[in-house]
Amino acid sequence: MKPAAVQKRIEGVLAPVITPFRRDLSPDVERFVRHCRWLMKSGCAGLAVFGTNSEANSMSVEEKLELLEALVKGGVPASALMPGTGHCALSDSVKMTREAVRLGCSGMLMLPPFYYKGVSDEGLFRNFSEVIERVGDERLRLYLYHIPPVANVAITLTLIERLLARYPGIVAGAKDSSGDWNNTKAMLERFQDQGFDVFPGSEVFLLDGLRAGGKGCITATGNVNPGAISQVFKNWRSAEADKLQAGITATRGIVQKVPMIPALKSITAHFGNDPDWRTVRPPLVELTPAQEQQVISELKASGFSMPGL
């Protein structure tokens, strides 16, 4: 597998887009496309649809492909899309990745297979390698998704090294949701000069990341606070940068006092005056009224808003 010669990569703030469900728990295609359009016009450089915050693993491959096709048909440029395509089943990962490449998506954000625990780097290498070889498309750009607190299966530096050596240009970067800045820094120090783009998994590390060579961030709260977060990206070399960073860190602090995914949905429901947004798929549950009241009132008190929603 050789990478396609020139291909612009996404840099900046990406939202792992929350997925709206109807009351019968089916994915709400129209509301999804509408939210994606709002995110793009509100500062997001790209959309990491089908991430952890998207409840992606609570959906079948078919349901995700229907949403992805609707998004591209709905006018969101595929060049701004970095869908999650990693599954436990090799066959699912191959199918989803192949279709996303066919649709022209800029990159793929790939979880390791996460059912078996304590698996070896050799086993994980084979997983990613099989996906790359079977998809067999030089346009494929793979971003490795390191989120040990949820997947419980890590993307180690050793694994990255091996994959980069075998598939340079195809293996394009990582999202680091370890919450461990030292790990993000190590990824940057070791691999950024090999065309490996690192995105911290929280805007809390956005400015530090950019200063160390990172390319932006892929962050849950990008769903509700894309404008302010993208201002840090746009102004990171300015004198204002630290102050802007402090602002978005404070907003994040309010949101993460309650469970993140239902919180993002409650916030969107409230500020968009669209109560159906609250619906989550099991095993998640929506916020309690008390939790929702807390997060909304603290956000309001901080001056938070979602203009144009």
Binding site for a copy of itself (CB under 8 A): 25, 52, 57-63, 88-92, 95, 112-117, 119-120, 122-124, 126-127, 130, 149-153, 281-285
Q: Would you state the structure tokens that stand for residue 165, as one six-digit string? A: 């050596």
Q: How far is the CB of 80 from a copy of itself (least distance, A)?
A: 25
- Cα(203)–Cα(176) distance, integer angstroms: 11
Question: What tokens appear for 210 in the block?
Answer: 């950019």
- Are 262 and 278 in contact, with CB atoms under 8 Å apart? yes
Secondary structure element (H or E) that encloses residue 46, with its range: strand 46-47
| Residue number, 260 or 296, with CB nearest to a copy of itself | 260
Interacting residues of 137 by C-beta distance below 8 A, sequence separation 6+: 98, 101, 102
Query: Which is nearer to a copy of itself, 31 or 95 (by Cβ)?
Result: 95
Least distance from a copy of itself to the Cβ atom of residue 130, Å:
6
CB of 209 to a copy of itself, least distance (A): 25
**Is the Cβ–Cβ distance between 234 and 209 less than 8 Å?**
no
Nearer to a copy of itself, 162 or 185 (CB): 162
* Closest distance of CB 56 from a copy of itself, Å: 9
User: Using only C-alpha atoms, what is the Rg of the chain?
Assistant: 18
For a copy of itself, the closer of residues 92 and 138 by Cβ is 92
Please report how close the Cβ of residue 23 comes to a copy of itself at its closest, in angstroms. Answer: 13
| Token pair listed for 4 | 């396609």
Cα distances from 113 to residues 94, 117, 172, in angstroms, run 12, 9, 19
**CB of 166 or CB of 281, closer to a copy of itself:** 281
